[in-house]
């Protein structure tokens, strides 16, 4: 009988300790690979959960405008969480943005980096269709080639920096000893 009580209390202690541990380490990295499908090409897309609905809007608009979104860059893991990033790079450090150019559905160039930079996209019907309509879906377009959404855009610079540090820390690759 005595042995059983000891045994049960050991089990109970282990159970509580494990749960407590899991509960405390509850904050998880929210960045994951996004399976783009045929409306995207280029780099693998890594995105925060909050950016995923926006990526789906991007895909829908791309399809409607008969373009394919060629992804040049998405979430960027910094060398250290506190590394300085320009405000134009902040959405990528938060996992809420992509750098892109545009292809046709077969993969030929519609608007490359130069075209994006010189605003030639305004004169290309498919490109103008895409860029105008993604903005109507709530995405923010920043010239020359950044699309972002779902990040806490109303935060102050210092709050954004704190969010960046927290995200980067949570998502840093775990080093195995
Ligand atoms: C990432 O997504 C989660 C879940 O939607 C959200 O709570 C968090 O604020 C997002 N992170 C950033 C940096 O926007």
Compute mean pLDDT per 10 residues along the chain, 177 residues long, and list them.
59 50 69 95 96 98 98 96 93 97 95 92 96 97 94 86 96 78
| Cα distance between residue 9 and residue 60, in whole Å | 57
Mutational pocket test of ligand 1: of 26, 28, 49, 81, the residue with most ligand atoms within 8 Å of the beta carbon: 49
Nearest-CA residue for atom 5 of ligand 1: 50
Question: Which atom number of ligand 1 is nearest to the Cα of residue 94?
Answer: 13
Question: Which atom number of ligand 1 is nearest to the Cα of residue 166?
Answer: 13
Mutational pocket test of ligand 1: of 26, 28, 30, the residue with most ligand atoms within 8 Å of the beta carbon: 30
What's the predicted TM-score (pTM) here? 0.83
Residue 169 Cβ < 6 Å to ligand 1: no
Per-residue pLDDT, 151: 84
Q: Per-residue pLDDT tens for 65-117? A: 999 999 999 999 999 999 999 988 999 999 999 999 999 999 999 999 899 99
As given in the structure block, the two tokens for residue 169 are: 């820390």
Per-residue pLDDT, 120: 92
Per-residue pLDDT, 9: 60
Residue 1: other Cβ atoms inside 10 A? 5
Helix, strand or coil for residue 168?
helix
Residue 66 Cβ < 6 Å to ligand 1: no
Domains defined along the chain, listed by start: 31-171 (3.30.1380)
Per-residue pLDDT, 174: 79
Residue 128: other Cβ atoms inside 10 A? 14
Nearest-CA residue for atom 14 of ligand 1: 151
Nearest-CA residue for atom 13 of ligand 1: 94
Nearest-CA residue for atom 7 of ligand 1: 50
Residue 163 Cβ < 6 Å to ligand 1: yes
Residue 167 CA: distances (Å) to CA of 9, 40, 83, 162: 39, 25, 13, 9
């Amino acid at each position: 009988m005595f042995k059983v009580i000891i045994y049960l209390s050991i089990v109970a202690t282990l159970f509580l300790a494990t749960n407590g541990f899991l509960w405390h380490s509850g904050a998880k990295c929210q960045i994951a690979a996004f399976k783009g499908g045929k409306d995207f090409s280029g780099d693998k897309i890594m995105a925060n959960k909050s950016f995923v609905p926006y990526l789906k809007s991007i895909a829908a608009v791309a399809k409607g405008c008969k373009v394919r979104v060629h992804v040049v860059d998405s979430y960027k893991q910094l060398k250290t969480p506190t590394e300085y990033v320009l405000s134009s790079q902040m959405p990528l450090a938060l996992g809420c943005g992509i750098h892109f150019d545009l292809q046709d559905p077969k993969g030929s160039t519609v608007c490359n980096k130069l075209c994006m930079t010189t605003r030639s996209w305004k004169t290309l019907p498919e490109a103008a269709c895409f860029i105008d309509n993604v903005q109507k879906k709530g995405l923010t377009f920043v010239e020359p080639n950044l699309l972002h959404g779902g990040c806490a855009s109303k935060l102050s610079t210092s709050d954004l920096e704190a969010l960046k540090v927290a995200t980067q820390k949570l998502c840093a690759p775990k080093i195995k000893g």
